[in-house]
Amino acid sequence: MSTRRTARVASMIREVVSSAILSELRDPRIKNVTVLGADVSPDLRYATVRISVMGDEKASSLTMHGLTSARGYLQSKVAEYVKSRYAPELRFVIDDGIRKSVETSALLKDVLPSDSEDEASENDGDSDVEGDDETETADSAVAEPGEQE
């Protein structure tokens, strides 16, 4: 199989699963889910759907149980759109990449000095000096036309 076809099928699976989760599933356990992507095996028999769940570990485990119970329905929806001999077997995996990136940015924010605070303190000192220059320039500009009259 060509990699172009597997990429196309993976994209289609991601779209079908995300729209079905958003609009058609009524399971109260499945909420705050984002479908990040799908990976398809070369023979199109298996598809791994990467999801992200907003919330704590309890919410993500409940969501995984809900998606596992709705897997047959989601596979039938995928089978309607993917024209292949076999409908891909869906596997759901929680992707913690977003959560890890948020934690990493929070750690970096705590560790690294804040540039905006340093710049603000430097600009406060500079703006007083610059303000005096601008005032003098404005005063001299006003004084010159008065002297000519």
* 13-48 per-position pLDDT tens digit: 999 999 999 999 999 999 999 999 999 999 999 999
pLDDT tens readout for residues 73-124: 999 999 999 888 888 999 999 998 888 888 899 999 999 877 665 555 555 5
Cα 94 to chain centroid distance, Å, stands at: 14
39 φ/ψ sector (left φ>0, alpha ψ -120 to 50, else beta): beta
What is the percent of the chain where pLDDT is above 70?
75
From the options 3.40.50.2300, 3.40.50.150, 3.30.300.20, 3.90.950.20, give the CATH code of 3-96: 3.30.300.20
Asked whether 82 and 13 are in contact (CB, 8 A), the reply is yes
* pLDDT-derived band at 69, boundaries 50, 70, 90: very high
- Nearest-angstrom CA–CA distance, 94 and 64: 8
- Nearest-angstrom CA–CA distance, 113 and 110: 8
Number of H helices, E strands in the chain: 5, 3
